[in-house]
């Protein structure tokens, strides 16, 4: 499982021009899955994201987690995170789990995140447009 996590002031996701998910201060999480991911992997990544200290404390040091600042999450499924660009100019996506495998993993991931913080999402498998007001920029990759 691979996630790109960006600290945001706000973000919104649109499908067919309509808002389907949004977040205020918090995190934008782009997540991708492989066939070998397990429930334990998903749970570990969700926990790591929520507890990562990537928000500033009163001294400006990155010392606070999403829980500490009361933030929220906008989570978007993104199989292209597993693109292999080593050969040729067309990325190879064969390492990404197929939809019928990754959809249940994505649903579990959303549920695990939502147990800890308010989480909204896009629509799995749809073409989505994102509006992002990043904060930092602070962007990290969480992978297991």
Domain boundaries, the chain: 2-143
Tell me how far apart the alpha carbons of residues 140 and 4 are, in angstroms, rounded to a whole number.
6
CA quadruple 40, 48, 127, 16: dihedral positive or negative? positive
What's the pLDDT tens digit per position in 65-95?
Answer: 999 999 999 999 999 999 999 999 999 999 9
Tell me the pLDDT of the chain averaged across its residues: 96
pLDDT reported for residue 143: 96
pLDDT of residue 35: 93
Query: Tokens representing 3?
Result: 């996630």
The predicted pLDDT at position 141 comes to 97
The HSE-up count of residue 116 (CA atoms within 13 Å, CB side) is 22
Question: Considering the chain, what percentage of its residues have pLDDT values greater than 70?
Answer: 100
98-123 b/e (C-beta count within 10 Å ≥ 16 → b)? eeeebeebbeebbebbeebbebbbbe
Residue 67, CA atoms < 13 Å, CB-side half-sphere: 12
pTM given for the model: 0.95
CATH code, 2-143: 3.50.80.10
């Amino acid at each position: 499982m691979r996630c790109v996590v960006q600290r945001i002031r706000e973000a919104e996701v649109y499908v067919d021009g309509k808002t389907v998910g949004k977040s205020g201060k918090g995190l934008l999480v782009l997540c991708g899955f492989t066939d070998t991911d397990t429930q334990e992997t998903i749970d570990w990544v969700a926990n790591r994201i929520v507890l990562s200290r990537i928000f500033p404390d009163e001294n400006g040091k990155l010392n606070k987690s999403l829980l500490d600042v009361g933030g929220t999450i906008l989570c978007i499924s993104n199989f292209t995170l597993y693109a292999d660009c080593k050969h040729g100019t067309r990325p190879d996506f064969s390492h990404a789990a197929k939809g019928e495998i990754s959809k249940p993993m994505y649903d579990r991931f959303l549920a695990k995140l939502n147990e800890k913080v308010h989480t909204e999402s896009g629509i799995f498998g749809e073409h989505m447009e994102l509006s992002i007001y990043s904060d930092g920029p602070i962007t990290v990759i969480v992978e297991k």
